[in-house]
Each structure stands twice: as C-alpha cells, then as structure tokens.
Chains A and B, each alone.
Chain A
Amino acid sequence: MAVRIQRQDFDLAAEVRALSQGRHDIGAVVTFSGLCRDEAGTLSALELEHYPGMAEAQITRICEEAVGRFGLQAVSAIHRYGEILPGENIVLVVTASPHRQAAFDGASFIMDFLKTSAPFWKKEHGADGSAGGWVSAKDEDDSARDRWSKD
C-alpha cells in the first residue's frame, strides 16, 4: 500500500506499473483520477489546503479498511495540494484484485470516504480574478459514503 500527499503531479501509467510490476497474481487493476474542472470557464484555479500528517494518516486508514473489506491485493492513493489549474490532476486511486468487482468497489469505497473524511479543503479562484470562496461539502457525497454501511 502506498499513500502519498504531494505538491507535484503524478503519472498514472507509472503508478499502475509500480503497483503491478513483478507480480503474477493480479487479475484486475482499477484507476480513478480526479481532475480540476474549469466550471464552464468561470474557474481559473483551485487551491487545496490540507492537514499535514492527518491527511496521510486518514487516507491510510481508509485504504487499510478497503484492503480488508474487499480483499484488495494492492492499493495506491495520491492526493495533491496547493494550486491546481483546470485540466490538472488532483487525486489518484489505484486498486488491484484477482477479479474486477473487488477492484471497482475498492476504488469507489476509497474515494467516497476520502471525499468526506480526508482533511482537504478546496478554495476556488475565479477566471475574472475574484478570490472566490471555499467549496461547500455536498450532501450527495455523504450519501455516497453512507451507502457502504447499508446491508
């Protein structure tokens, strides 16, 4: 399991390679990457603030839970911070399992919990030069997380 909180960009292909290299037991790899949208041209940048230490610890806890719950063979999660421009990467989750469903579910589970419990906050900067505001948490993100606790 690899969890990294970093300023710099990541290379999706390189991360997949690092996770599966030298192994012959993996049957499925799922990647999710989240990118910065320009919100129909109104957004010039996102500023991502994080809680150093806890951000890594919390994502590690989420990934560990996913490994146990879905029987994942490997997980990598990377979250960037600082200024991120439209089109740039924000987050990457890579999961590996013997069969596809566990890898899909594991990646989805990790993202749902990451969005609601990993200490990151987005601030928008407007294309018109305005400072913009903090992004509000969405109810549907809570709902997406809560579906994992249903029977």
Chain B
Amino acid sequence: MARVDLVYFAWVRERIGKAEETLELPESVVTAGELLAYLKTLGEEYETALEHENVIRVAINQEHVDHHEPIAGAREIALFPPMTGG
C-alpha cells in the first residue's frame, strides 16, 4: 500500500465533495490512469466526477503527466478538468 495525498479542483472537487484527502492505494494501482479507475470504485461521487476519464487531467507533484505515467514516488497527485484560465 502506498500513501498519497490527492487534491481535486473545480468540478472534480465539487462532484467528489472534497478538496483533498489522503488514501492508501493498493499496489495494483501503477499508473495515473489506473488511479482514476480505482477511484471510480470508491463510490458514486467518484464515478460521477471521473465519468469521462479521458478529459480528466492529472498532475504528479505539481507537474502535468499523461494517464500512462507511473505514480510511484508521488507525494501529491492532483485531478482536475481542462484548464480555463487566462
């Protein structure tokens, strides 16, 4: 089990119903994409928030990564929608 801090933003945060949490992840969760799939098994709110997995952006330790990226060694993983700043 790996312990990781998860942070959520914008409608991902609203749909999950919290801004951050710390989770123990099973060792079978290797990549960012597998993390999304795992989170969707945790409850309806996660399922709704992460329904369209391909639009969810992932950052590991505050750097963008794609869904194939391994999450080993991550201290903080952020999940959020496409960005709309500027």
Binding site for B on A (CB under 8 A): 34, 48-51, 53-55, 57-58, 79, 90-91, 111, 114-123, 134-137
In the complex, are the beta carbons of A121 and B64 less than 8 A apart?
no
In the complex, are the beta carbons of A120 and B7 less than 8 A apart?
no
In the complex, are the beta carbons of A137 and B81 less than 8 A apart?
yes
Contact pick for A115, options B62, B64, B83, CB 8 Å? B83
Interface size on B, residues (CB 8 A): 16
B80 in contact (CB, < 8 A): yes
B85 in contact (CB, < 8 A): yes
Q: A49-B10, A54-B78, A121-B81 are in contact. Are A91 and B86 (CB under 8 A)?
A: yes
Among B10, B62, B84, find the residue whose CB has the most chain A CB atoms closer than 10 A.
B84
18 contacts between A and B (CB under 8 A): A34-B86, A49-B9, A49-B10, A54-B59, A54-B62, A54-B78, A115-B83, A115-B85, A117-B83, A119-B59, A119-B83, A119-B85, A120-B83, A121-B10, A121-B83, A134-B11, A136-B82, A137-B84
Binding site for A on B (CB under 8 A): 7, 9-11, 59, 62-64, 78, 80-86
Residue numbers in B under 8 Å from A117 (CB-CB): 64, 83
How far is B85's CA from A135's CA once the two chains are assembled, in angstroms? 9
Contact pick for B62, options A34, A57, A123, CB 8 Å? A57
Q: A53-B62, A137-B81 are in contact. Are A121 and B86 (CB under 8 A)?
A: no
Among B9, B59, B85, find the residue whose CB has the most chain A CB atoms closer than 10 A.
B85
In the complex, are the beta carbons of A134 and B85 less than 8 A apart?
no
How far is B85's CA from A111's CA once the two chains are assembled, in angstroms? 10
How far is B9's CA from A118's CA once the two chains are assembled, in angstroms? 13
How far is B84's CA from A115's CA once the two chains are assembled, in angstroms? 6
Among B7, B9, B10, find the residue whose CB has the most chain A CB atoms closer than 10 A.
B10
In the complex, are the beta carbons of B85 and A79 less than 8 A apart?
yes
